Amino acid sequence: MKYAYYPGCSLEATAREYDLSVRAVCSSLGVELAELPDWSCCGASSAHSTNRWLAHALAGRNLALAERAGLDIAVACPACYLRLKTTYKEMKDDPQQREELVNLIGMPYEARYNTRHLLDIICNDIGLESVKERLTKPLVGLKLVSYYGCYLVRPPQVVAFDDPENPQSMDMLLDALGAEVRDWSGKVDCCGGSLSLSKREIAMQLVKEISEMAREAGAEAIVTACPLCHSNLEIRQARQNRLPIFYFTELMGLAFDIPEAKSWLKKHLISPLSLLASHNL
């Protein structure tokens, strides 16, 4: 199983631990990720707000590179995923727009290969049974909530791999890893990540509400697939009783007993190490 891999800007910098865990987990599951050569920024999150065709050109160039390789493209960041998936869908549905995109980027593109989020690939291509077969160190006793955020499962007419109001894929994956997954109402609420610098008070209030809902559900940590959500939930939590934030792939690495998994967690602003130690993880 092989995919063209688009890491995006965040995974190359502030979310380096996400990138490392993605690559290690996919290797462990026998999935080959071929990083796109000379990939460029997808334009998230502001390009589509300023110039529609600039947004399509930024995403389309990366899609054309994946098509040149003859592979579906795998994306880990939900913002990157939404931008690439939106362009893919619009160009696939409208040959006239696709011709205009080709002229803009100066590369052939026929929208022949799909854009997939890594969570979708793991749950629906690899399958949870294969995940369970790789399990070495189950996350027994670890109480978690799955946080999908705004982008990962919305809008449904574009992404369409899980329910936009009550998604279940990450919940089922964490359950397969042996964790105790708590149901809660905050899984698709906005964390205010795009406002974290410009309107900090709003972001702090949204993060406060999310962390309080997670605690009320009995969670010891929040699990996400988004680098922007991860950083915002860490930075904007109150100083007292802070909940650790995990990428879902980091927990997969721990459950698979990948040797370097603990080193990823040292990059976090809220250390989860004492929590893991309390569960002999």
Q: What is the pTM for the complete model shown? A: 0.97
Q: Where in the chain is the domain with CATH 3.40.50.11810?
A: 133-278
Query: Environment class of residue 277 by beta-carbon count within 10 Å: exposed (0-12), middle (13-18) or buried (19+)?
Result: exposed
The phi and psi torsions of 126 (rounded to 5 degrees) equal -75, -50
Residue 199 pLDDT: 86
Furthest CA-CA distance within the chain: 58
Burial code of 93-102, b = ≥16 C-beta within 10 A, e = fewer? eeeebbebbb
Q: What is the pLDDT of residues 98-123, one digit of tens each?
A: 999 999 999 999 999 999 999 999 99
Q: Where in the chain is the domain with CATH 1.20.1050.140?
A: 2-117
| CATH code for the part of the protein at 133-278 | 3.40.50.11810
How many other C-beta atoms are found inside a 10 Å radius of the C-beta of residue 279? Answer: 13
Domain 2-117: which CATH number of 3.40.50.1110, 1.20.1050.140, 1.10.3720.10, 3.90.1010.10: 1.20.1050.140
Q: Which residue has the tokens 């803009």?
A: 104
Q: How open is the CA angle 145-149-154, to the nearest 5 degrees?
A: 125
Q: Which amino acid is at 205?
A: Q
Low-confidence stretches of the chain (pLDDT < 70) are: none
Q: Which residue has the tokens 């499962």?
A: 153
- Residues composing the chain: 281
Residue 40 pLDDT: 96
Distances (CA, A) of 249 to 20, 22, 165, 176, 252: 9, 6, 22, 13, 5
Calpha distance 145→142 (Å, rounded): 10
Residues 6+ apart with CB under 8 A from 274: none
